[in-house]
C-alpha cells in the first residue's frame, strides 16, 4: 500500500513545521508497513494552472502520477489568511488533467487532513481541504487534526511533536490505514 504526504507549505527546511510533521507521518507510516512519499510543494515546480496549455507540464505529470498511485493521502497545510496556501489549491486544480480518465481526479482515494495555525482557526483550513477533496471525488476521513501551533512541539524537546499531537496524528494514521475508528 502506498501513501502520499502532501506538504502544502512553501517551507523547504526539514526542521520547519511542515517538514517535521511530514517526517513524523513518513516514519509512522513506515512502521505500519506502508510505503510513503513526501510531495513537497515548494520543490515541485508546479506552474500556475493554465487550461489553455496544449501540453501538460512535466512537473504536473509527475505530481498526477504520484497522487493517483497513492492509496492514501495526507494533506498538510498551514493556515494563511483564513485558508490553505493558494499554491496548494493551484496544485490540486491541476488534477483537472485527469478529467478524461475512467476514474478522474482522486476518485475513491482516502484523505487525512492536517492544518496548523498560530491561533485557534486551523479548522478553517481543514474545512477548505475537505471541500476540495470531496470536489475531487475523494473521501476525507471523519477525523482531522487542526493544530494550535504553539502546542505542536514538546516544551522540553522542541524537535519532537508533543504527546498531545502525536496521539492525534497516530489516530489519524490508524484510521487511514485500517479504515476503523478505535480508541488509541
CB atoms within 10 A of CB 97: 19
**Is 39 in contact with 54 (CB distance < 8 Å)?**
no
Q: What is the pLDDT of residue 66?
A: 97
pLDDT tens for 82-141 read 999 999 999 999 999 999 999 999 999 999 999 999 988 999 999 999 999 999 999 999
Q: What is the pLDDT of residue 151?
A: 96
CB atoms within 10 A of CB 28: 19
Q: What is the pLDDT of residue 179?
A: 81
* 14 pLDDT tier (thresholds 50, 70, 90): confident
The whole-number average pLDDT for the span 155-169 is: 96
CA gap 132, 33 in Å, rounded: 28
Indicate the Cα dihedral angle 82, 84, 90, 92, nearest 10°.
Answer: -140
Q: Which of 160, 2, 155 is nearest to 72 (CA)?
A: 2
Q: What is the pLDDT of residue 15?
A: 84
Q: What is the pLDDT of residue 182?
A: 66
Q: Quick check: 12 pLDDT over 90?
A: no
Q: Quick check: 184 pLDDT over 60?
A: no
Q: Which of 79, 77, 73, 127 is nearest to 105 (CA)?
A: 73
pLDDT tens for 19-66 read 999 999 999 999 999 999 999 999 999 999 998 999 999 999 999 999
Amino acid at each position: 500500500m502506498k501513501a502520499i504526504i502532501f506538504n502544502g507549505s512553501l517551507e523547504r527546511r526539514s526542521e520547519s513545521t511542515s517538514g517535521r510533521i511530514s517526517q513524523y507521518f513518513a516514519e509512522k507510516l513506515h512502521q505500519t508497513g506502508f510505503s510513503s512519499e513526501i510531495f513537497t510543494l515548494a520543490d515541485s515546480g508546479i506552474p500556475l494552472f493554465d487550461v489553455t496549455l496544449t501540453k501538460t507540464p512535466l512537473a504536473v505529470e509527475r505530481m498526477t502520477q504520484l497522487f493517483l498511485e497513492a492509496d492514501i493521502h495526507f494533506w498538510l497545510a498551514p493556515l494563511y489568511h483564513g485558508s490553505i496556501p493558494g499554491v496548494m489549491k493551484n496544485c490540486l486544480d491541476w488534477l483537472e488533467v485527469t478529467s478524461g480518465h475512467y476514474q478522474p481526479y482522486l476518485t475513491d482515494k482516502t484523505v487525512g487532513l492536517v492544518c496548523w495555525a498560530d491561533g485557534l482557526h486551523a479548522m478553517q483550513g481543514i474545512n477548505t481541504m475537505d471541500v476540495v477533496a470531496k470536489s475531487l471525488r475523494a473521501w476525507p476521513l471523519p477525523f482531522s487534526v487542526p493544530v494550535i501551533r504553539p502546542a505542536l512541539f514538546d516544551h522540553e524537546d522542541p524537535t519532537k511533536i508533543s504527546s498531545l499531537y502525536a496521539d492525534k496524528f497516530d489516530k489519524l494514521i490508524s484510521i487511514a490505514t485500517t479504515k476503523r475508528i478505535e480508541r488509541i
